[in-house]
Structure 1
Amino acid sequence: MAIRCLLALLILQVALARDYYDILKVPKGAADSVIKRSYRKLALQYHPDKVKGSEEEKAAAAKKFADINHAYEVLSSEEKRRIYNRYGEDGLKQHGAQGGGGGGGGAADIFSQFFGGAFGGGFGFGGGEEEEQTPKGHNVRVDLEVSLRDLYVGTTVRVLRDKPVARPAKGTRKCNCRNKVVTRQLGPGMFQQFQQQECQECPNVAYARETEALNVAVEPGMSDRQEVVFFEEGEPLLDGEPGDLNFVLRTRPHVRFERAGNDLRHNLTISLVDALVGFSTEVEHLDGHKVHVAAAGVIVPGHVVRLPGEGMPLFEHPDRHGDLFITVTVAFPKALTEKQKAAVRETFKGLHDEL
């Protein structure tokens, strides 16, 4: 019994452990420069001063921002990264090398190293020197079809990416060309300014095609047309950084459910008898669990039953859900026999007078 409890505890710890590479959206073997650039982009995206919305959305962004900073603190350290790769987050704790982990001053310090005096005691973006912009290749946008069930429970889609990669080639080339402003004095009080191009000789390169497998994480509650970004997986650029690869989620229509924000809508057809006396039935949800639906009394076509908490999970809050709205449609018989008509008339005799 004790061994079973220990195994369950270990499994729970593994499930709850954070994947620092996934947080920074980089592969496990990523170079330090790739980790650094990915951190820079994510830190700006989730910085509390950059996120607009409700207090809950801002709180979620602040937590994400702290996780991003903690992940970078670990992966940017050769010692911490080595321990993490071998023993995971628990190993960092045992070696006392986990770092800040909770944001606060640690997150501010790491962020300020990238963006100069951007904090000034708070989270503002004023001050500091503007970072030099590095040329980037073109971003690539790819539509990725997913099912409504994928967006409900989450999934991982494996995609093969065929891309051009720069490889060493024979010879040299002129690169890093830039225009330099030159000032020449022509005489007393007379100056001439002109631009002069400077070039450097660099090793030559050639493009080759390379196929790489990417795992696109579709998280519960993601929305249609939401983008999943793979930094520097876009088109390469000589003497610059590669662009990004953006997967745009496209939801395939579902035969039974329709999404409306965080809510779900479903059409339920019942018989005329059920419409007159009430009904009780079950509807199979996207993940296979059964949802009980019932209504008493006479139900008119178009009646809506609302089931709280049976809608889509909220993105980054998968423990919370929208609602499920079920619209009732009544299936009328195509025809009645004379005997059935007489029985109906007898059954509802005097009902018109009561109404």
Structure 2
Amino acid sequence: MKEDYYDILGIAKGASAAEIKKAYRKKAVQYHPDKNPGDASAEEMFKKAAEAYEVLSDDNKKARYDQYGHAAFDGSGGFGGGGGGGMNMDDIFNQFGDIFGGFGGGGGFSGFGGGGGGQRRVKGSSLKIRVSLTLEEVANGVEKKIKVKRKIQASGVTYKTCSTCGGRGQVTKVTNTILGRMQTAATCSSCGGSGQILDRKPNDADSQGMIVKEETVSVKIPGGVEDGMQLKVTGKGNDAPGNGVPGDLIVAIETLEHETLKREGDNLHYDLYVSISDAVLGTSKEIDAVVGKVRIKLEPGIQSGKILRLRGKGITGLNGYGAGDLLVHVNVWTPKTLNKEQKEFFEKMQTNENFIPSPEKSDKSFFEKVKEMFS
């Protein structure tokens, strides 16, 4: 069983954003790889702390975690870092560079972009695409094959150590102040922080030794996603020069409008129109649902405005957590034109006691129905 994120950082559940950041920084300093070389357990704690901070520092992810725990992120297929179980060291240092900057008072730790004596690993730029999903795909989850044009390192490209920074990716500057000698570090402008510059490249490559290639990327989209959500496919963005790591592919979700069903959270709404005769005599109707067609029974004397709730026939919650309902709104259709015989029938019925409105106490008002629908 995974450890509680609050326990990992050593904070209470009601901790503020500042307290969360402070606690993470403390853990990051304690277990940083440069302070614990070769210590696998320290590296694991370092990753756990980063994973916890990634969730608790994001208001939306934190709210989901507070409500559902780790189940909020299990099987999310790479959602924007939520849960972060697959985080690696490059992800951590790239994502939380502002947290690591300035450790130790002299320009930070080395090795991963902190700013000390080691070579940085530059991350390639991310790509963003939009994927359109039908309501059925949203409800059931789907695997999409997407064609992506991304920059990759050309065959035959070679690099050499940057002479400006000596392969460190950063240049340091020492200045004398009234407080003493101050040392600052900045990304090397010659190599962009990679520590390497282009040596040889084929004619079809750009100035960084890259070519554009179209690839087919498989993206698993879990059921329950909503319009505007973004998924991250690690390593499927643009390559980085030299020994850098590829960027990510950001998949933005767009949901298509369904012909008869309307989504509201995990619930679905369906407007069912029935004739006066069907409402009086009762009938059964086949209607749309995301699981296919379903048949419902209308009792004789059903009233316009009645809401029938089909439990569990809505959208399955993100990561399979529960399912919404299908709400069928009954609308009795009043004919606008009548022939002579039909008109005579309804004229006779105007004074018939069975046709005079007589709502029972059990019949809910419009406002009560709305309240019930949203409860």
TM more than 0.5: yes
Range 255-264 or range 328-337, more displaced: 328-337
Q: How does 1:308-319 map to 2 (within 5 A)?
A: 308-317=311-320
2:135–2:257 Cα contact (<8 Å) kept: yes
Compared with structure 1, are the counterparts of its residues 47 and 296 closer, same or farther at alpha carbon in structure 2 (3 Å cutoff)? farther
Per-residue deviation, residues 149-191 of structure 1 (Å, max 9, x unmatched): 001122211112221111255676664553222468xxxxx98
Partner of 1:207: 210
2:282–2:301 Cα contact (<8 Å) kept: yes
Compared with structure 1, are the counterparts of its residues 201 and 283 closer, same or farther at alpha carbon in structure 2 (3 Å cutoff)? closer
1:164–1:208 Cα contact (<8 Å) kept: yes
Runs of 4 or more, structure 1, over 4 Å off, are: 39-43, 45-51, 61-65, 127-131, 168-174, 190-202, 352-355
Which amino acid in the other structure matches residue 139 of structure 1? S
Partner of 2:69: 58
TM score, norm. by length of structure 2: 0.56
Aligned pair 1:224/2:227, yes or no? yes
Matched position secondary structure for 1:238: coil
Q: Give unmatched runs, 5+ long, in structure 2.
A: 1-42, 77-81, 94-102, 115-120, 202-208, 359-375
Q: How does 1:264-343 map to 2 (within 5 A)?
A: 264-300=268-304, 302-317=305-320, 320-343=322-345
Matched position secondary structure for 2:327: strand
Structure 1: how far apart are the matches of 2:49 and 2:139? 25
1:266–1:324 Cα contact (<8 Å) kept: yes
Aligned pair 1:178/2:188, yes or no? no
2:260–2:288 Cα contact (<8 Å) kept: no
Per-residue deviation, residues 45-88 of structure 1 (Å, max 9, x unmatched): 797756523655214148669xx99x879xx9xxxxxxxxxxxx
Matched position secondary structure for 1:53: helix
Compared with structure 1, are the counterparts of its residues 255 and 163 closer, same or farther at alpha carbon in structure 2 (3 Å cutoff)? same
Which amino acid in the other structure matches residue 163 of structure 1? R
Partner of 1:247: 251
Q: Which has the higher strand share?
A: 1
1:48–1:58 Cα contact (<8 Å) kept: no
Structure 1: how far apart are the matches of 2:182 and 2:294? 82
Aligned pair 1:147/2:134, yes or no? yes
Instruction: Give the counterpart of 1:159 among 146, 162, 168.
Output: 146
Matched position secondary structure for 1:321: coil
- Superposed CA RMSD in Å reads 4.5
1:165–1:209 Cα contact (<8 Å) kept: yes
Matched position secondary structure for 1:283: strand
Partner of 1:138: 125
Partner of 1:108: none
2:284–2:295 Cα contact (<8 Å) kept: no
1:232–1:242 Cα contact (<8 Å) kept: yes
Which amino acid in the other structure matches residue 246 of structure 1? I
Matched position secondary structure for 2:217: strand
TM score, norm. by length of structure 1: 0.59
CA shift for structure 1 position 268? 0.9
Partner of 2:38: none
Q: Identical aligned pairs, as a percentage?
A: 22
CA shift for structure 1 position 311? 0.9
